[in-house]
């Protein structure tokens, strides 16, 4: 059975990456605790691409901004749904890192669920 992936693109001010890191580390602990197969958070390093639209243009990055590309891997969509339900009930989700002011604009946060097409 093909795995399932939740993917995220998160534009944010460069100066807030450190604040986001605390949230990301806590998220990794919580999702892995509840059964996610993998959890990855990546900050942009090279957004100058020779062809295509590129993430910077797609995310409409503004001066002083960068972005995070993140994904969480599950066994299946049903597994994703079970893991996310458990995550939302976890007391650690009440940590101020998760409930306080977001280091990014939630209106510009993009996400989606994806079925694995090719994997290794």
Q: Kindly state whether residue 120 falls inside one of the protein's structural domains.
A: no
Q: Residues 14-31: what's their mean pLDDT?
A: 95
Q: Kindly state whether residue 43 falls inside one of the protein's structural domains.
A: yes
What's this model's pTM, rounded to 2 decimal places? 0.91
Q: What is the CATH number of the domain that holds 73?
A: 3.30.70.100
Tally of structural domains, the chain: 1
Q: Kindly state whether residue 71 falls inside one of the protein's structural domains.
A: yes
Q: Kindly state whether residue 24 falls inside one of the protein's structural domains.
A: yes
Please give the structure tokens belonging to residue 69. 């590309």
Distance separating the N- and C-terminal Cα atoms of the chain? 13
CA distance 51 to 44: 17
Q: Kindly state whether residue 109 falls inside one of the protein's structural domains.
A: yes
Q: What is the pLDDT of residues 64-103, one digit of tens each?
A: 999 999 999 999 999 999 999 999 999 999 988 788 889 9
Domain that holds residue 62: 4-115
User: Tokens 């995070």 appear where?
Assistant: 68
3-state SS assignment for residue 51: coil
Which of 15, 13, 114, 16 shows the shortest CA–CA distance to 70?
Answer: 114
């Amino acid at each position: 059975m093909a795995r399932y992936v939740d993917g995220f693109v998160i534009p944010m001010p460069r100066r807030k990456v450190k604040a986001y890191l605390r949230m990301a580390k806590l998220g990794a602990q919580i999702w892995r605790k509840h059964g996610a197969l993998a959890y990855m958070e990546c900050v942009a390093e090279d957004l100058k691409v020779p062809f295509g639209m590129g993430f910077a243009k797609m995310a409409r990055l503004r001066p002083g901004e960068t972005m995070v590309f993140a994904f969480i891997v599950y066994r299946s969509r049903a597994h994703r749904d079970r893991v996310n339900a458990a995550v939302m009930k976890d007391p650690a989700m009440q940590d101020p890192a998760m409930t306080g002011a977001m280091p990014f604009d939630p209106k510009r946060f993009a996400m989606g669920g994806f079925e694995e097409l090719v994997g290794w």
